[in-house]
């Protein structure tokens, strides 16, 4: 497989998709056109989303074609040179992909070697489930089961913050709750500005910040770019 799983599209104060575009270009080497899945968009249209991504992809000479324009969406994905799924609301994204019966065709294409790029919600849906998203469940998908390209869970936009005066759960506490019900699964806290590249059986953390590793029965710890994280894909 050839995947680039990005925590967030945009760093504070930067232009949209500016920081990950060089890594996106590496992942999509040789690709002239991608199938884009815009279904995480909620407060703006799919057309607006397609245009926004196209503006950045113009820099690397790649055409963006949104799946929402296709009459036969499964066939459209089946013939993709590469698949790109953007961020937004993970529940809305998964619900629409389930309704259009896209999960299995995406799984098969990516497992066959078609490059995949996703950010935020687009990273969440590569996991077995979307249970470690940060999003509000504004719609109800058929189930929480996602594409299942990787055997671990991702929490994008991960942060350690516990603001003064805040009495609610921290991000870490919510992940630990998940692990009480899913004791055999790893969860990674992927901080903003970071991404995971998966090439065949090799995993690489890209970015200057640590990624947190959570698993029931293990003390939570951080890994840096360059550390061996291949254990995450041993099923």
**Angle between helices 103-111 and 90-99 in degrees, nearest 10:** 90
Options 7, 9, 68, 135, the catalytic residue: 135
Q: How far is CA 102 from the centre of its chain?
A: 16
Query: Which entry of 157, 200, 225, 227 is annotated as an active-site residue?
Result: 157
228 catalytic, yes or no? no
Nearest alpha-carbon partner for 189 in 111, 110, 94, 124: 124
Rounded Cα distance between 233 and 152, Å, is 7
The CA-to-CA distance between both ends of the chain, in Å, stands at: 15
**Of 9, 66, 120, 123, which one is the catalytic site residue?**
120
Distance, in Å, from the CA atom of 205 to the CA atom of 228, rounded to the nearest integer, reads 9
Check if 135 is active-site. Answer: yes
Alpha carbons 235 and 233: distance in angstroms, whole number: 6
Token pair recorded at residue 153: 């869970």
- In this structure, is the dihedral angle defined by the CA atoms of residues 42, 44, 49 and 55, taken in order, positive or negative? negative
HSE, side-chain direction, 13 A CA sphere, residue 109: 24
* 200 flagged as catalytic: no
Q: Which long-range contacts (CB under 8 A, 24 or more apart) does 168-171 make?
A: 171/134
Q: Which residues are catalytic?
A: 120, 135, 157
């Amino acid at each position: 497989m050839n995947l680039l799983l990005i925590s967030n599209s945009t760093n504070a104060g930067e232009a949209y998709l500016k920081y990950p575009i060089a890594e996106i270009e590496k992942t999509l080497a040789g690709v002239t056109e991608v199938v884009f899945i815009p279904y995480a968009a909620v407060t703006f249209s799919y057309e607006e989303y397609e245009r926004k991504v196209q503006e950045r992809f113009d820099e690397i000479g790649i055409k963006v074609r949104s799946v929402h324009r296709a009459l036969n969406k499964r066939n459209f994905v089946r013939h993709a040179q590469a698949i790109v799924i953007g961020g937004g609301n993970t529940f809305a994204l998964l619900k629409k992909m389930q309704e259009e019966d896209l999960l299995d065709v995406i799984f098969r294409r990516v497992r066959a070697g078609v490059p995949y790029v996703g950010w935020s919600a687009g990273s969440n849906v590569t996991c077995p489930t979307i249970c470690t998203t940060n999003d509000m469940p504004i719609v109800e998908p058929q189930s929480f089961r996602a594409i299942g390209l990787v055997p671990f869970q991702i929490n994008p936009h991960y942060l350690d913050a516990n603001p003064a005066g805040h009495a609610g759960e921290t991000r870490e506490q919510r992940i630990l709750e998940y692990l009480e019900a899913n004791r055999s699964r790893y969860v990674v806290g992927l901080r903003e500005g970071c991404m995971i590249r998966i090439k065949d059986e090799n995993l690489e953390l890209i970015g200057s910040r640590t990624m947190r590793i959570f698993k029931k029965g293990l003390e939570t710890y951080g890994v840096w770019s360059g550390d061996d994280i291949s254990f995450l894909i041993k099923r």
